[in-house]
Amino acid sequence: MRAGEPGLLPLSATDVERTRLPLEQAHMLPGAAYTDPAVLEWEIENIFLKNWVCAGHIDQVSDRGSYLMVELGGESVFVVADDDGLPRAFHNTCRHRGARLVDAPEGTLPRLQCPYHAWSYGFDGVLRSAPFTDDIEDFDKGCFGLKPVRLAVIDGLVLLDLSGEAPAPAEHVGDLAPLLARYRTGELRRGAQIVYDVEANWKAIAENYNECLHCPGVHPELNRLSHYLSGEDIFGEGAWCGGSMTLTEGADTMGKDGGAAHNRPPIRGLTEEQQRDVLYFLVFPNTLVSLHPDYVMLHTMWPQSEGRTKVVCEWFFEPETMALEGFSAQDAVDFWDQVNREDWGVCRITQLGMQSSGFEPGRYTSQEDHVHLFDVMVADRYLEALGAEVAR
């Protein structure tokens, strides 16, 4: 699709408009939104590549030469810390013959040099060396720097806009920014990472994250630590949705061993009342951020096909906590690895069920208000493409 005119979205405006009705009247998104490869292709082109997406956390690119690389559709972009430790984002293609400059998901580069013909670049993207070009007519190194990608960092989240035309990043994150700042997300350091290959559409994963109606049956251990009907919804400006859940008496955090924090102190600045809550937010389109009393968990979703999504899950802690003798993140990692895999299991069977000729979009329950909010964000993008009037 990217080589020519944008493809048409193979959905009916009438079907999509049913999702935008009030929760009590709405139907879920059409089945083709989850199973048609043409829809996924359109979403990558018009949602992921034209909005801010979260590439990861600033901790991954805080030291000179440290980088992370993301792939989305046919695009590959890497973020690298420059000589001053500031993140820069570039298209992952050499200006000579187009070879990829980095191939691993993350790492540290002693220098930025193409592995093919050794063209070398500064971490600011400037071409420094191009062997055997001294005698080439009208060759100006200043014209052959790496192609930059628009980048913003908000409270530790590294955001990319490949179109260069997305709204201001502060507008995208909106009123969620002060809540992220409360948990010092920009100062945290990564303690663990697990990468999952999930057999489900990215939207099915997002919808699953936005409700806990399934928790008693699917996540009994989680439900013992925070009752599925606890907490409250949180609303505000920006492209996000979410709310809180309350820890049960005796639980200090979300982790194994009944939620014992294992001598991890709460994040500095949280009140005693705030230490009883876990906040869950989806930042459209690909970011799931969970704020716990003593750590922050980040999921980023990367569609691979209409029925497969790579999910990168990471755990972040205060540097002082990680420096404590005997520090371990294992209880939190093991707990959420179990919960994640339980979620991926129900997302997989949902994906399979939606492929049935007998599938029709269902109705929302009263406990799925944030599922509905997320679906409306998607529906609004669909309707804009379908030429329908979208009432904000």
pLDDT, tens digit (0-9, with 9 covering 90-100), for 236-257 = 999 999 999 999 999 999 999 9
* pLDDT score, position 388: 63
Alpha helices in 69-213 (DSSP H): 169-173, 177-182, 202-209
Both 353 and 266 in one domain: the answer is yes
Q: Which are the contacts of 389, defined by CB distance < 8 A and separation ≥ 6?
A: 383
Residue at a domain's end among 123, 154, 185: 154
Q: Which of 284, 266, 290, 267 is nearest to 340 (CA)?
A: 290
Both 179 and 300 in one domain: the answer is yes
Q: Which are the contacts of 303, defined by CB distance < 8 A and separation ≥ 6?
A: 40, 43, 44, 48, 72, 201, 202, 309
Both 216 and 323 in one domain: the answer is yes
Both 353 and 217 in one domain: the answer is yes
Residue at a domain's end among 154, 189, 206: 154
Both 146 and 203 in one domain: the answer is no
Both 148 and 206 in one domain: the answer is no
What is the rounded CA–CA span in Å between residue 367 and residue 377? Answer: 18
Both 66 and 182 in one domain: the answer is no
Q: How does DSSP classify residue 363? A: B
Residue 67 DSSP SS3? strand
- pLDDT band of residue 262 (cuts 50, 70, 90) is confident
43: in domain = no
Q: What percent of the chain has pLDDT over 90?
A: 94
Give the model confidence (pLDDT) of 39-89 as tens digits: 999 999 999 999 999 999 999 999 999 999 999 999 999 999 999 999 999
Residue 390 pLDDT > 60, yes or no? Answer: no
Give the model confidence (pLDDT) of 292-330 as tens digits: 999 999 999 999 999 999 999 999 999 999 999 999 999
What is the rounded CA–CA span in Å between residue 232 and residue 186? Answer: 25
- List the beta strands (DSSP E) in 172-285: 189-198, 233-234, 240-246, 277-283
* pLDDT score, position 387: 86
What is the rounded CA–CA span in Å between residue 234 and residue 280? Answer: 10
What is the rounded CA–CA span in Å between residue 40 and residue 33? Answer: 7
Residue at a domain's end among 154, 188, 213: 154
User: Which tokens sit at 8?
Assistant: 């048409």
Longest dimension (CA), the chain: 75
Mean pLDDT, residues 224-241: 95
Both 57 and 200 in one domain: the answer is no
**Residue numbers of the domain that contains 132:** 53-154
Both 308 and 359 in one domain: the answer is yes
Both 235 and 354 in one domain: the answer is yes
Residue 141 DSSP SS3? helix
358: in domain = yes
What is the rounded CA–CA span in Å between residue 114 and residue 97? Answer: 10
Both 198 and 312 in one domain: the answer is yes
What is the rounded CA–CA span in Å between residue 206 and residue 368? Answer: 12
Q: What percent of the chain has pLDDT over 70?
A: 97
Residue 288 pLDDT > 90, yes or no? Answer: yes
277: in domain = yes
392: in domain = no
Q: Which of 206, 203, 213 is nearest to 364 (CA)?
A: 213
34: in domain = no
Specify the number of domains making up the chain: 2
CATH number of 128's domain: 2.102.10.10
- Phi first, then psi: give them for residue 104, nearest 5 degrees: -90, 155
12: in domain = no
Give the model confidence (pLDDT) of 154-170 as tens digits: 999 999 999 999 999 99
- pLDDT band of residue 1 (cuts 50, 70, 90) is very low
Q: Which helix (H) or strand (E) holds 310?
A: strand 308-317
Both 348 and 244 in one domain: the answer is yes
Residue 354 DSSP SS3? helix
Q: Answer positive or negative: Cα dihedral of 179, 184, 187, 192.
A: negative
Per the confidence metrics, is the pTM higher than 0.85? Answer: yes
Q: 202-209 vs 330-354: helix axis angle to the nearest 10?
A: 120
